[in-house]
Each structure stands twice: as structure tokens, then as C-alpha cells.
Amino acid sequence: MTWLTDAVVGAGSPGSRLQIMGVVNVTPDSFSDGGRYLDVDDAIAHGFEMVADGADIVDIGGESTRPGAARVATTQELARVIPVIEALSAAGVRVSIDTMNADTARAAVAAGAAILNDVSGGLADERMAGVAAESGLPYIVSHWRGHSDKMSSRAQYTDAAHDVAGEVGARVDALLAQGVLPSQIVVDPGLGFSKNADHNWRILARLHELEALGFPVLVGASRKRFLGALLPEDAPMESRDLPTAVVSVLAAQAGAWGVRVHDVASTRLALDTLAAWQGGSDD
């Protein structure tokens, strides 16, 4: 079996292990950490810390995708992410590259990245499908309707859960037609991308509609605005880690393959608690 297939077998069933993807933003303007890991050495150290906390994958990104974020030149994105990928992958860490840029994705693969994570699902750069097909690596395909400066105006749905599943299915069909293999595909509902809080909660409550496409599902709710809405208005960003961990447990119970989080330790503890609970029913 491939790594992806091995990781997916039994996903969501009692005793199965949800994949934890830890987020490392090598950017000055991330909504979640305010550029804390822009320095390459700090980003590398944070990646190792996440592995120690229980991350299965470390996701490296060099371009913020928060609402209103400006695009980053490819040369700048590469300068941010490639040294981090090289250092972590050389130490045996399974690294994913979070990028919408085919040139960055190709360079990241050469540097040791083992997974491609494209929040645009190949729409931002039509060459991305070719890079994914050529690499043969797992390819995370997110629901996406436009870049950060346009996403809010496109949060219009008849039924968010149904519409997102349909649009992701169509995107996957287009990628398969371009040579990407079904065994490479992981799908992501793109929470927060052209979606308001009600849309996000509807999608999560009906995650089975996305799972019905037949591909592993990654949930990336970590520290997003719709979780912040559950907290006092002046609550610090880190206070969103508790609801994130709860979503991680619920995602595991709903059959998700993985979760993408900023605080690995809290999600690892929450999932270990779930596993202990489920293990209590064993004879």
C-alpha cells in the first residue's frame, strides 16, 4: 500500500488514528501567529516541536491566505519555505508544502516535501495538476472560489454542505482528467474560504456529504474566525485552541482522515482521550 492508503485505512473507526498536520507559517502576516515563525531557524525549531508534540505531518507555508492578504512573489515564497523543508525532511519529518504555486510545489518536492497541499485545488495555477501527477505524491484538494481579496464576496450558497461537496467533486474530476491518480487525492472543504460561520458549521455537521466522494477528508478549522466567535471578543488567539481540539475529536468521530492545527499538543491530548474512551469498550 502507499503511505496515503495506509494512513486512510480505518479512518474514523474506533481505535483508528487521525492524522495531525501541524501548521508552520513562514510568513509575516499570518492571522494565527503574527509572523512568529518568519525566521527560518524559528520555523525549523517549531516544526521539530510539533513533531515532539505528536504531529504526523508538518505543513509549511510561505504565503498567507487570510482574507485580504497580498500575493507573494515566487522567489520570496521559495526563500521562506525551502530551507525549512530541507531541514525537516532531512531529519525524517513528513513535510507537506502549503502553496498555490506550481513552481514552489515542484521545488518543494525536490527539497523533500512528501505531500502537496493546495488551498485552491489547482485553480490558482493551472500547472499544479501536472506537478501533482508527475510527483505521484498525496495531493490535498481544497474547496476554493477565489483569492483572498475576493473570497468574502463569493460566500453565497444555496446549501453550503451540498454545494461544496459538488464543487470539490467537479474539481477532483478535472484533476483526474489531467493525470492525477485517485489514490493521490485528499479533499478539504476549505473552511473559512468564501464561507461564513453558518456555512462552516453546516459543512462540518454534514461532513459525510464530502466523504461520500470516496476520498480521505482533511479538516482545517484551527483558530479560524468562526471558532473565535464562540469566545469573548477580546480573547487571545491561543484561546481558540480548545474549540479546535473539540472539532478535531468530532472530525475523528465523523470519519475524517486528518486535521490541520496550530497547537498540536492540545489536539493530540484530545484525540488520546477519545481513544481511551473508545478503548474502554473493548473486552
Backbone Cα Rg of the chain? 17
CA separation for the pair 53, 140 (Å, rounded): 23
List Cα–Cα distances, 110 to 27, 74, 113, in angstroms: 21, 16, 7
Catalytic residue (choose from 224, 225, 240, 268)? 224
CA separation for the pair 75, 79 (Å, rounded): 6
Does residue 224 carry a catalytic annotation? yes
Does residue 260 carry a catalytic annotation? yes
For the annotated catalytic residues, the residue numbers are: 224, 260
